[in-house]
Structure 1
Amino acid sequence: MTNEPVPVAAVPRRVSLYNAANLLTAIRLVLVPVFLVLVVASEMTEPGWRMAACLVFCLASATDFVDGWIARRFHLVTSFGKVADPIADKALTGTALVLLSAYDQLSWWVTALILLREWGITAMRLWVIQYGVIPASRGGKVKTALQIAAIAWYLWPMPASLVAVGPWLMGAAVAVTILTGVDYIVQAVRLRRGAGAGAVTGGE
């Protein structure tokens, strides 16, 4: 038996849990209750508190884009990040939507539809994860950007002449949310059927 050195590529690279990507995800989670308190303090009537809430929401949303880029760029993907990142995203967006509806800024059916799609797609991904991973699509990124823009528009105390833009932004966000949701469902069904056919035929 020879004591040959193990090639570097063959040694699994351990990624520390304490890295920049996970730190940003943790910050986003911490900012959710801060955002909630600011919106409640504003009661969606006090301009100063609304501005503060909007800025915190935008800052927290920005960490979503940055932590994902850092994790991929520097190979810092961890199990914590895979679980905590989507939870932080949905906690932030869900909190914002529920608060906007609670203060009569947004119809409850819009909030219910978006949350049903978000949590439903997450559950579906977990359902098919043993057969493969459904990657985030470009449409999904557009959906996220539109949701953030629409929520921020509702939060910021806009002048009367610009208030009407909010519903149009939210309408676009809802449309893309539905379309991308249908696309993910189609991908999941194809992935599940493909795995089932492979098991029956013994194909690789």
Structure 2
Amino acid sequence: MTKAQVLILDDDDAVLDALTLRLELEGYGIIASADPAAFMKTANVNESDCLLLDMRMPGTDGMAVLEHVRTRAPHLPVIMMTGHGDVELAVAALKAGAMDFLEKPFADRRLLDAIEKAVSARRSAQAASGADDAVHDRFGRLTPRETDVFHELIAGHPNKIIAHHLGCSQRTVEIHRSRVMTKMQAGNLADLVRMAVEGGLSGGK
């Protein structure tokens, strides 16, 4: 079973072949390219888990590709591959959004560790994104009055104050509060506040 999909962009065919073989032996799915222009037009960066990107290539260099990828797929981890003496460029790439860099020639263990770390970060980001989507979906199912109660709750207001703000009885607030907790799948108020903060729903109406 393929554990993850790794993109490789390097204009050196020998490097491409060696990296492809090594990573396929580890169970990774590989899409390799030697043409930066073609890569930027056709690579499915949003469906991949990691990009190994050569820093120096004729025509379009690695920094230009990095900028392009960060625009299209900001959460895709990018590992820059640099030649000896390119540490300054590598640092610039890290500041521009790359996750790591490998200085050629690099050891197998260094390569595999970097990719494992990148894939793990990618999967964590995807899981967090999925969780945020679920929270927003549940939030979207609240009625207007339940939404009002939601914002009052995460502001820390007790039922009595909420009733005053909304012009209703405390019993009505209790009913809406129960429905909010059920619809949002929150076990307690702390859960609800955490969902609001992590989902970007804590800024008010």
TM superposition score normalised by structure 1: 0.27
More helix by share: 1
Q: Which has the higher contact order (CA 8 A, sep 6+)?
A: 1
Q: Which has the larger radius of gyration?
A: 2
TM superposition score normalised by structure 2: 0.27
More strand by share: 2
